[in-house]
Amino acid sequence: MKLNSLNTNKHRGFKTPDRYFNNLDQDLLHLAKLHAKTDASGFKAPNDYFNTLETQILQKTSQQTNPSKVITLKRNTWLYVSSIAATLLLFFSLTLFNKSASSFDSLNNDTLVSYILSQDIDYSEMASLITDETTFADNILKESISDQNIETYLENDLELDDLLNQN
């Protein structure tokens, strides 16, 4: 706010409620009469309370009837250290000395076939597992099936009723 506009400013920033000064003299007289009727505030402290307060507090805090029990935490440190060492030893022995890694190359075909048959996997699920169709088709076409394998399949796995039902 500029200094030269202070005299012309209608809004000075201070406001009083409406009719504030109408009953001001009556309110002040009423308060004066109330103060004359009451001598004290209603709260009383005992005699010499604040003079003896500090000594009473010191007496109560300095008296210890029972010494507190101190529990040492260092008693079982050997147990913690040995359990951590055993855990680390077990972890490293399992990861470093376990050199036998499983691979699909070590599995024979009979094991895979028996697993697939025991799991009741549908043909649509098996087809969804094939990710690269061109490689799969090339491997199937390159695979040569001998006459002996066809004969054993027809003798052992295929029944005559299955052939008749297909036609």
pLDDT digits (tens, 9 = 90+) for 82-94: 889 999 998 888 8
Query: Mean pLDDT throughout 37-49?
Result: 80
pLDDT at 29: 92
pLDDT at 88: 92
Query: What is the three-class DSSP state of 24?
Result: helix
pLDDT at 6: 60
pLDDT at 38: 79
Q: What pTM, to 2 d.p., does this model score? A: 0.22
pLDDT tens, position by position, 94-146: 877 766 666 666 778 788 778 877 877 777 777 776 777 777 777 777 777 78
d(CA 118, CA 114) in angstroms, rounded, equals: 6
Other beta carbons within 10 angstroms of residue 23's beta carbon come to 10
pLDDT at 70: 75
What percentage of the chain carries pLDDT values higher than 70? 76
Nearest CA-CA partner of 129 in 112, 105, 111: 112
What percentage of the chain carries pLDDT values higher than 90? 7
Query: What is the three-class DSSP state of 121?
Result: coil
